[in-house]
Amino acid sequence: MFFCVPAYHFAILFLLTYFLTVSFANEDELLITTKDGQVQGKLLQAVDGEVRAFLGIPFAKPPLGNLRFRAPEPVEPWEGMKDATEYSNSCYQFPDSTFPGRILYCICTGKLNNQLCPLGQSLIDQLNLLEFCDDAGSACVGYHVISPGSNGLFQKAVMQNGVPTTPWASLSLEETWNRARKLGSLLGCSDPAELEACLQQVDVNQLATMQFGVMGPGFGGYPFIPVVDGVFLPDTIEVCLKEVLLGLNRDEGTYFLIYGVPGFDLGESLITKKQFLYGIDLIFPGGSEIEDVLMSEYINPASLKNPAVYREALIRMVTDTTFNCPVQGFAESYAQISGKPFLYHFLHRSSVNPWPEWMGVMHGYEIEFVFGRPLIPSLGYTEEEVEMSKRFMKHWANFARTGNPGVDGDTWPMFSPENMEYVTLDTNLPKKKMKLRASQCVFWNSLIIYILALKRDPSSAHRLRRDFTNK
């Protein structure tokens, strides 16, 4: 997994050295031999000593010229020694300037590799990287789990904060083609027959900028994301793995609301009913048709005097629809095809989190504990958080070794469709529970059927609403 906090880049690159096919002359040597040539690394200071780091080793040819949009090609072997003491060029992307740098530094969230998507082949790039070392991004991990091209390269997978069945993680072939043609027209490449060749000549800055013009109105998402192509992603899923560790944070939705919905900002974000209803329509296309049903499910009339009632309702809606329900739906489907899913629910808000308190246990904020960030004394974490981080690392390591995240003889329950077992994680010892937000997920599954039927036959709105309300 790759994360945007620089300290975590180091942690991942340390892991890369373990998976490389190398030959060492002795334990202290920093010159190693890979199948493509020699690389020279360097020593970096870690919490408990020094580690060897090898940075910027290529896993494929860069997507330049006619390689843009094409499946990545193997890197050419090199003569002599390659300097692996500095990072190489990153994927083309824009810095996030929405919030101050101190805030941005603390956003530690996995990415769908969306910066690569306008250039194509993000998943196949990751497949090459899997053959080289590891995976990237929780939803993309899920795609590798179900892809016949990559699932044989690993035995277990950890998917934190996302699965390939989430609404933002895939598009239909038809919609992808429509977006590609729209991008072409925005960039002066209007001839469908010459679309690829024309876009290969477009300046990368223009391409990266204009890609966002292909998206319609709505909340979140990426311009270009994976599709079921019958090659990398099959149209039917068979048993591919093995054990899978899935994770959810209590307040996943807050991070997305602050970026995508008017009224949410670094203040208290005490939105009004009008802003709440606008948010519903923005997040759920056609939401205005069902706003009374949503309010009935998520707002208790007795709490209407609470100034935070609409803010909290929208947080719970987005968290349920984008994370809680899709992740558990994936776990249920995976269990039904003989997979072995485990689920955790992370409940602790970091003591050094600079975001507003109302944002709670945010999307991606378990990562700092999984990678041992609290073990650095100067960062100011509490003793309880240091111990929690050590325990998390044991859970993850034990999952990799044994297939069960439990430690000290206390095994975790496997998620089953019947009981929906999961484990809570915070500064206390793990607790085993069942049916996380189960009634809300039943509600959303029924509501999705209603919305799809409404799109097919708008004239049936009254009957469908009556049937849904009476469920």
Which CATH number belongs to the domain containing residue 360 in this structure?
Answer: 3.40.50.1820
Tell me whether residue 29 is in a domain.
no
Residues 231 and 271 both lie in one domain: no
Residues 152 and 292 both lie in one domain: no
Tell me whether residue 24 is in a domain.
no
Whole-number Å distance between alpha carbons of 117 and 6: 22
**What is the count of structural domains for the chain?**
2
pLDDT tens-digit series, residues 122-180:
444 444 433 333 333 444 555 555 555 555 556 677 877 777 666 666 677 888 889 99
- Coil/strand/helix, residue 158: strand
Tell me whether residue 142 is in a domain.
yes
Residues 183 and 273 both lie in one domain: no
Percentages of the chain per state (helix, strand, coil), in multiples of 5? 45, 10, 45
The predicted model scores a pTM of: 0.77
Host H or E run for residue 333: helix 325-336
Closest CA to 374 of 360, 359, 392, 399: 392
Residues 339 and 223 both lie in one domain: yes
Residues 117 and 203 both lie in one domain: yes
pLDDT tens-digit series, residues 88-133:
887 777 666 666 554 433 333 334 333 334 444 544 444 443 333 3
Closest CA to 424 of 340, 348, 331, 327: 348
Q: What is the pLDDT of residue 308?
A: 97
- Residue 65 gets which letter from DSSP? G
Residues 310 and 216 both lie in one domain: no
**Is residue 341 within 8 Å of residue 335, measured between CB atoms?**
yes
Residues 373 and 337 both lie in one domain: yes
Closest CA to 249 of 350, 329, 396, 113: 350
Tell me whether residue 160 is in a domain.
yes
Tell me whether residue 53 is in a domain.
no
**Is residue 221 within 8 Å of residue 168, measured between CB atoms?**
yes
Residues 248 and 290 both lie in one domain: no
Residue ranges making up the domain that contains 127:
100-253+321-434
Residues 243 and 353 both lie in one domain: yes
Tell me whether residue 21 is in a domain.
no
Residues 230 and 104 both lie in one domain: yes
Tell me whether residue 153 is in a domain.
yes
Residues 414 and 280 both lie in one domain: no
With a cut of 50, list the residues of the chain below it in pLDDT. Answer: 1-27, 102-120, 122-139, 237-239
Tell me whether residue 392 is in a domain.
yes
Show the tokens assigned to 310: 């609409």
Residues 306 and 411 both lie in one domain: no
C-alpha distances in angstroms, 378 versus 3, 4, 176, 250, 374?
Answer: 21, 20, 47, 27, 9
**Is residue 144 within 8 Å of residue 112, measured between CB atoms?**
no
Give the ranges where 148-253 is alpha helix by DSSP (H).
173-186, 195-199, 204-210
